[in-house]
Chain A
Amino acid sequence: METTREQVLDYLSEVKDPEIPVLDVVEMGIVRDARLDGDTVHVDITPTYSGCPAMKAIEEEIVRTLHAKGFEKVVVHTVFREAWTTDWMTGEAKRKLEKYGIAPPPKTDAALRPALPFAGQPKPVRCPFCGSEDTERTSEFGSTACKSLHFCRACRQPFEHFKCI
């Protein structure tokens, strides 16, 4: 049975984001491409943030998963072109995020504020628990590089938001 690129990508959907285990690296847009070259499978990945510490774990998990599927030689390439953006996350991925309790990122053109200080306040983020928009941002930086911290005044719960980039 000949392995296709689609099949490799299918296998790779078993590799979950170590920080957000409901999402896989394909629907997050981290996996950019897969190529078969003789007996070697090449996988291109793009980092979400320059310093994302999960990327090493993701790389190792990709190798482990493909080895388990019978590929002897697996090479993972980290590519930077084009820069990863939250716009690459699928609609399904964003829905899963919300169900998991993390407010998903809106489309970047709507939300990417300029670098000017205090320019344009961010639109209120919808609470992933109760759906209210009566929320406030407590910190632009959260537990990981990709998230910010918010508080819902309606249901009184803190929650995280996957930032637009």
Chain B
Amino acid sequence: MTTATLDPELRPALFDYLLRLGDDALVLGHRLSEWCGHGPYLEEDIALTNLALDCVGQANGLLGLAAEVEGAGRDADDLAFRRDALDFRNALIVELPKGDFGFTVARQLLFSAYAHLLYEALRESAFEPLAGIAAKAFKEARYHLRHSSEWLIRLGDGTDESRQRAQTALDDLWMYTGELFEKDDTLRTLVDAGLAPDPRALEAPWRERVEAVVSQATLTLPEDDFMLTGGRSGRHTEHLGHLLAEMQFLPRAYPDAVW
């Protein structure tokens, strides 16, 4: 089905879902872009910013599609730059500050392992435009996953300092991973309609992949404990507000500016 043939009953859930996907990509893309000019060395600076570009491009497609489904005359830019933190639907893990290189690598591994599986499944979505975006994003997610896996292995199986930083990063990030696999009413509606994959079905393969990389990195997989949540309903950490203040400053300060 396309936007034109979409069952109107599905619109609110689909709009919400597309915001989640688009906001994940946008916020993560922004965090990655913060490495521009600050990478540990030139080639990695380029690598991180290339990943950022892929994410922002995906966000552009997904938010554009969200706006189309919403049908209220907004576009991708309106959604990206004129919503406040309460209206963002990204998972908490992507809004965390970039931290040190180990933290960025660990977060990227945890998120890319999920994104890779998610986009792979979304290629079968009954909503054609989403399936199309996912087919493209899936191929890019492969590069992101391999890149971050290789780095976590180098850092974990590296010096005492790199291993300590990598382990600390994993330990700090673990409580943010549960949110990626939550299934709420929005997802129940979309899964039943064949528009989205069941996130709970992604958890086991995600874990398997993460465990394999963590093990090869000679690091310890953190214990499952309390999992933070709230991003999908607009309850964000204090970090998102600061991120948006920076990201949205220019279009908000000069709303009539044209490139």
Contacts and interface: CB of A to CB of B under 8 A. Distances in A.
A115 interface: yes
B129 A80 contact: yes
A18 to B, nearest CB: 16
A118 B128 contact: no
Q: How large is the interface on A (under 10, 10 to 19, 20 to 34, 35 or more residues)?
A: 20 to 34
A82 B138 CA distance: 12
Interface of B is mostly: helix
Contact of B61 (A53, A80, A82, A143): A80
A83 interface: yes
B116 interface: yes
A83 B135 contact: yes
A54 to B, nearest CB: 11
B189 interface: no
Nearest to A146: B50
A38 interface: no
B246 to A, nearest CB: 19
A79 B29 CA distance: 22
A118 B132 contact: no
A57 to B, nearest CB: 12
A4 B124 CA distance: 35
Given A47-B57, A52-B57, A141 B153 contact: no
A81 B132 contact: yes
B177 interface: no
B54 A50 contact: yes
Interface in B34-92: 43, 46-47, 50, 53-58, 60-61
Contacts of B170: none
A122 to B, nearest CB: 11
B54 A51 contact: yes
Given A83-B135, A83-B139, A51 B46 contact: no
Interface residues of B, number: 36
A9 interface: no
Interface of A is mostly: loop
A6 interface: no
B132 A141 contact: no
Nearest to B149: A117
B142 interface: yes
Contacts of A52: 57
Interface in B126-140: 128-129, 131-133, 135-140
B142 A141 contact: no
Given A80-B136, A83-B132, A118-B150, A140 B143 contact: yes
Interface of B: 29, 43, 46-47, 50, 53-58, 60-61, 116, 128-129, 131-133, 135-143, 145-147, 149-150, 153, 213, 216
Interface of A: 47, 49-53, 79-84, 113-119, 138-143, 145, 149, 165
18 contacts: A47-B57, A49-B57, A49-B136, A49-B140, A50-B54, A50-B58, A51-B58, A80-B61, A80-B132, A81-B135, A82-B132, A114-B146, A116-B149, A139-B46, A140-B47, A141-B46, A141-B47, A142-B46
Nearest 5 interchain pairs by C-beta: A51-B57, A80-B132, A50-B57, A117-B149, A139-B43
Given A47-B57, A139-B46, 12 more contacts: A49-B53, A49-B136, A50-B58, A81-B135, A115-B145, A116-B149, A117-B150, A140-B147, A141-B47, A145-B53, A145-B54, A165-B139
